[in-house]
Copies of this chain bind each other. A is one copy, B any other.
Amino acid sequence: MSVLVAGTLALDSIHTSSEVHHELLGGSASYAALAAAFSGQVQLCGIVGTDFPQPHRDLFSRRSIDTANVDTVEGRTFRWTGRYHDDMNHRETLDVSIDVLEKFNPRLTTDAASASIVLLANMSPDNQLAVLDQCTASPFVIADSMDLWINIARPRLLDVMKRVDLFVINEDEAKIFTECSNLVVAGRRLLEMGPRYVVVKKGEHGAMLFGESHFFTTPAYPLTQLADPTGAGDTFAGGLAGSLAANARTPDFKDLARGIIHGSVLASFTCEAFGVRRLAELTDAEATGRTAEFRACTSWAS
């Protein structure tokens, strides 16, 4: 099945305590599309300026990602600059330049509109709804979001939640959104807002999946070297979406659980290098090997 990944395409500048990198390929849709491309045929939807570097386009094409739905318009590509604190668990945004992102008015090709799995990666709820309105194939829809939209566009985000199958959110955002400090309770409250399933991402602590009558919880793959966690959540969502596309059936709860493992494994690679570098070089064999290793280090039943 094909996956439509819609979200932001960005040029990121990233500071950690040991390194600084400028104008790396970034944005929710870049990570998510590269991750989804490991197991599905990906249509990428987003907007860039005329300054978007050709090597980034070449990378998408090398990974067989269809960019027919990437608009290129006059102006500068969306840019984000951020700095990670020593422990890598906290970051601050140093600068954001929205630029062409403000003009984003997604219009899907027939191919993209008929995708079976739709991932609305992190972007404004308005843009997410604009993509969703054009989907024609009753797809399985996943939406990711962030604290910004909870804070400034909550009503529209609630509209998104009513229309998606799976809503993905991180731990802190789930607590803020539901005003609840217990994550299990928070996850259930998010379910009541409309989605059939909810995933709460906990970073180094793993993830939880909530369904009406099912629950799944997993630790994260144990990383020792964390170079740059930017895009880990987007990679997770993309890996999950791609995994569902590989199944060629409407996803059930077990498919989602396996998708979470696949997304976690891909996200662990993303963290090992700056930007999309590790993901861009990753092989199927490496991903499969790490999945097996992850299974071994989480199994206890005799």
Contacts and interface: CB of A to CB of B under 8 A. Distances in A.
A18 interface: no
Interface stretch (A45-53, A63-71, A91-99, A198-206): A198-206
A281 interface: no
A297 B258 contact: no
B208 A205 contact: no
A191 B169 CA distance: 35
Given A205-B202, A205-B205, A206-B205, A218 B298 contact: yes
Contacts of A214: 297
A212 to B, nearest CB: 14
A86 B214 CA distance: 28
Contacts of A206: 205-206, 219
A298 B261 contact: no
Interface bin, chain A = 35 or more
Contact of A204 (B88, B183, B188, B224): B183
Best-buried of A214, A216, A226, A300 by chain B (most CB within 10 Å): A300
B300 A260 contact: yes
B184 A208 contact: no
B182 A300 contact: no
B300 A87 contact: no
Contact of A254 (B89, B182, B258, B300): B300
B182 A216 contact: no
Contacts of A288: none
A226 B184 CA distance: 11
A257 interface: yes
A262 to B, nearest CB: 10
Contacts of A215: 222, 297
A184 B206 CA distance: 14
A298 B184 contact: no
Contacts of A182: 223-224, 226
The 10 lowest CB-CB distance pairs between A and B, nearest first, are A205-B205, A87-B181, A217-B219, A257-B300, A184-B222, A184-B224, A215-B297, A219-B219, A258-B300, A185-B224
